[in-house]
Amino acid sequence: MDYLDKIREIKDRYLKINEELMNPKIVSDQTKFVKLSKERRELSEIVAAYNEYLDVVKNLDESKEILESSSDSELKQFAESELVTQSNKKNKLEEKIKILLIPKDPDDEKDAILEIRAGTGGDEAGLFASDLMRMYIRYAEEKNWRVELMDINDASLGAVREVVMMIRGNNVYGELKYESGVHRVQRVPQTEANGRIHTSAASVAVLPEIEDVGEIQIDPTEIRIDVFRSGGAGGQNVNKVETAIRVTHIPTGLVVQCQDERSQLKNRQKALKVLASRLYDLKLREHNDGIAAQRKSMVKSGDRSDKIRTYNFPQNRVTDHRIGLTLYNLSNIIEGDIGGLIEALQLADRAEKMKGD
């Protein structure tokens, strides 16, 4: 079966799902309705590309027919031009469809835990970490995702040393996983009197949420749990009882802190969930390192030490070093307009996987 036969089957399945979703019995069964709606959403992009492909094939046939049957020279010239245009479209759509048919990462649909830490650069690194936090929050708002602030370590002048957020919504991890790595900024700090450009950095880690902590075995004897009082900016909303939780995983040295809830139990549950996600991510990176010798991926999401992107403010330029993409709209990107970057990374990753298969 070639890829076009496969996509025809996908379209038939898509049409069948549409019919089932109109059935009152299905609508009344919420579990089945949600499952079918999710499947329909997953197939919609492939079906849209295939429908566009069919339109292009139809246009090609019409252009060929004009060339064969018409005696009008002007019409034939137009048909020749259309033949070239539609042939190019057809080739691009064929490649796009092949890429879309590559199986997705099963973790892509999960919610994500996003962690940002200021790196080298002192206060300027903390301000950049704060900018990244706002960038991701605004992107999440645009996607109608829900953001839960789990822990934040503020510094002076609005800077952030470290922040941990839970982001919930449709395909969150699948979109944000490419953001993991070192982000570098080049700009003139507010405190710089001589107008010199400084370079500083912040690291971003994106982890798939482990919904059931039981998926990752955590030995109770290998963790230490400490409780302390939650803090708040300027002394506001400070909890006068010990509800904040710090969990230390002794074998790996991983430390998780959660203080956004007023309940110690809820903070403990969230902290254990973050720990489970970090341990899962650790296993995932070890697995990816194992297959890296066979096929090195262009778009990596595991190595936290990789410098993945540079934000150059004087030139309003953003460069993603993994795919060599440079955009001159930093002012929009830093305000949350990162959809174009993410889409380019997704396509590059799928194309790389297709070459490796």
User: Could you tell me if residue 265 is inside a domain?
Assistant: yes
pLDDT at 292: 46
Average pLDDT for 99-125: 87
Same-domain pairing of 117 and 219 = yes
How far lies 266's CA from each of 43, 255, 280, 299, in Å? 37, 17, 21, 36
State how far the Cα of 286 lies from the Cα of 338, in Å rounded to an integer. Answer: 29
Mean pLDDT score, 250-269:
84
The answer to whether residue 78 sits within a structural domain is yes
Q: Is the pLDDT of residue 50 over 80?
A: yes
Query: Judging by DSSP bridges, how do beta strands 160-168 and 307-312 pair with one another?
Result: unpaired
Q: Which of 75, 100, 125 is the last residue of a domain?
A: 100
pLDDT score recorded for residue 303: 45
Question: 8-22, 127-141, 258-272, 291-305: which range is least confident on average?
Answer: 291-305
Comparing 286 with 218, which gets the higher pLDDT? 218
CATH code where residue 144 lies: 3.30.70.1660
Instruction: Determine the average pLDDT of the residues in 215-240.
Output: 68
Q: In this structure, are 135 and 16 located in the same domain? A: no
For residue 267, with 0-12 CB atoms within 10 Å meaning exposed, 13-18 middle and 19 or more buried, which class applies?
buried
pLDDT band at 51 (very low <50, low <70, confident <90, very high): very high
- Same structural domain for residues 306 and 350? yes
Question: What confidence score (pLDDT) does residue 237 get?
Answer: 43
Average pLDDT on 210-239 reads 68
| pLDDT for the residue 182 | 94
82 and 199 in a common domain:
no
Write out the two tokens for 59.
């246009």
Mean pLDDT estimate for the chain:
84
What single-letter DSSP state applies at residue 235? G
Count of structural domains, the chain: 2
**pLDDT for 229-249, tens place per residue?**
766 543 344 445 567 888 999
Higher pLDDT, 1 or 31: 31
Q: Give the residue with greater pLDDT, 355 vs 204.
A: 204
Read off the tokens for 56. Answer: 């292009």
pLDDT above 90 (res 325): yes
Same domain, 287 and 184: yes
Q: What is the pLDDT of residue 283?
A: 77
With tokens 């566009």, the residue in question is 52
Same domain, 73 and 169: no
Any residues with CB less than 8 A from the CB of 219 and at least 6 apart, and which?
none
The pair of structure tokens assigned to 348 is: 């590059």
Do 244 and 270 lie in one domain? The reply is yes
- Percent of the chain at pLDDT above 70? 87
Predicted local distance difference test score (pLDDT) of residue 318: 97
Contact 236, 217 (CB under 8 A): no
| Predicted local distance difference test score (pLDDT) of residue 293 | 44
Q: Which of 57-61, 164-168, 268-272 has the lowest mean pLDDT?
A: 268-272
Residue 185's pLDDT is 95
Who has greater pLDDT, 221 or 99? 221
Residue bearing the bigger pLDDT, 306 or 279: 279
Same domain, 300 and 335: yes
**Other CB atoms within 10 Å distance of the CB of residue 157:** 12
| Domain shared by 244 and 125, yes or no | yes
* Cα dihedral: 38, 280, 276, 102 (round 10): -10
- Residue 339's H or E segment, with its range, is helix 339-356
- 106 part of a folded domain: no
Query: Domain of 73?
Result: 3-100
Model pLDDT, residue 181: 92
Tokens standing for residue 329: 């709209």
The span from the CA of 168 to the CA of 175, in Å, is 12
What phi-psi label fits residue 284: left (phi over 0), alpha (psi between -120 and 50 degrees) or beta? alpha
Q: What is the CATH number of the domain that holds 31?
A: 1.20.58
126, 233: one domain: yes
Residue 334 CA to residue 311 CA, distance in Å, equals 9
Nearest to 161 by CA among 111, 207, 200, 209: 200
Highest average pLDDT, of 14-18, 37-41, 148-152, 285-289, comes from 14-18
DSSP class of residue 157?
G
Domain contains 51: yes
For 88-156, give the DSSP string.
HHHHHHHHHHHHHTSPPPTTTTS-EEEEEEE-SSTHHHHHHHHHHHHHHHHHHHHTT-EEEEEEEEE-G
Same domain, residue pair 83 and 158: no
For the segment 279-293, the average pLDDT, to the nearest whole number, is 65
